[in-house]
Amino acid sequence: MSTKIKLGIKTMRKRLLAILFGGCVCCNLYGCTSRNWFEGIKGMQKQDCYKLESSSARQSCLGSVEEQNYDRYQADRETIIRDR
C-alpha cells in the first residue's frame, strides 16, 4: 500500500473518530445509540468510495471502511477520553 493511501486511511480514521465522538454526544441527547451513528457514518464512507473512478482505489477505500468495526471504535474512543 502506498504512503499516500496509508496517510489517507489514518486521516479518515481520525476524522471518523472525531465525527463519531460528536455524534455520540448528540445521540445521547436524542436517544440514538452510538452504534447506529457509527454504522451510518460507515455507510456514508462506502458511498464516497463508490464515487472513486479507479477500481483499485475504490477497492482499497472499501477495504479500509470494512476494517472498521464498532468495538474497535469504542475502545479507541475510551482511550481518547481516558488520556485527556
Distance (Å, rounded) from C-alpha 37 to C-alpha 30? 12
Q: What is the pLDDT of residue 60?
A: 94
Q: How far apart are the first and last CA of the chain?
A: 32
- The pTM of the full predicted model, rounded to 2 decimals, is 0.57
Return the number of other C-beta atoms located less than 10 Å from residue 24's C-beta. Answer: 19
Q: What is the pLDDT of residue 56?
A: 94
Query: What is the CA angle 27-40-24, rounded to 5?
Result: 25
Predicted confidence band at 16 (pLDDT cuts at 50, 70, 90)? confident
Q: What is the pLDDT of residue 83?
A: 92
Q: What is the pLDDT of residues 18-68, one digit of tens each?
A: 777 776 666 555 556 788 888 888 999 999 999 999 999 999 999 999 998
Q: What is the pLDDT of residue 6?
A: 55
Residues in the chain: 84
Q: Helix 34-50 to helix 55-67 angle, to the nearest 10 degrees?
A: 170
